[in-house]
Amino acid sequence: MLWRIAIGLAFAWALVMPPLFTNGACTAEFDAESARIDADRAALSDPARALAYWSERGIAHFNVSKEACRRSPPRFVANCGDGPLVYARVAVTHPVCRIYRDDSILVQLQYDARNRLARTQVDMAPYKRLPIPFTSRTIDWAR
């Protein structure tokens, strides 16, 4: 009976441990994609170029017109802009990050009425901080 409890505790411990040893890999992957979007801003300057950019990278992308966005906005959009919205979900490659943090990085490209890039937004679920009781220290979970 006692060995079953020990095996159960060891299994639970094994499930909890991987996110503690990412050494910033999840945040680094997010930062790399964000930097790539900033660097490739010219290739994303209008919706047609953005669609070609995402196709070239082999990433599924979506083009939402201004009217469609206002009728039924995607759940992650706070308010629709004056022009179309192009968004893509870039897959996270690190397996621990995929399981414990987020499986994709959401890239939103909002255009104005003249189809010029007005705003970019890159999102990924934030990492969690676990405070250590009775100390002022915290542990970063899936950072």
Burial of residue 85 (number of CB atoms within 10 Å: 0-12, 13-18, 19+): buried
Tell whether 13 is covered by a domain: no
| Enclosing domain of residue 121 | 19-141
**pTM of the shown model:** 0.82
142: left (phi over 0), alpha (psi -120 to 50) or beta: left
Short-list 17, 10, 15, CA closest to 2: 10
Tell whether 2 is covered by a domain: no
Short-list 61, 59, 85, 89, CA closest to 72: 85
- Per residue of the chain (143 residues), what is the pLDDT tens digit? 788 887 887 777 666 666 677 888 899 999 999 999 999 999 999 999 999 999 999 999 999 999 999 999 999 998 888 999 999 999 999 988 888 889 999 999 999 999 999 999 999 988 777 787 888 888 777 77
The domain tally of the chain equals: 1
Tell whether 52 is covered by a domain: yes
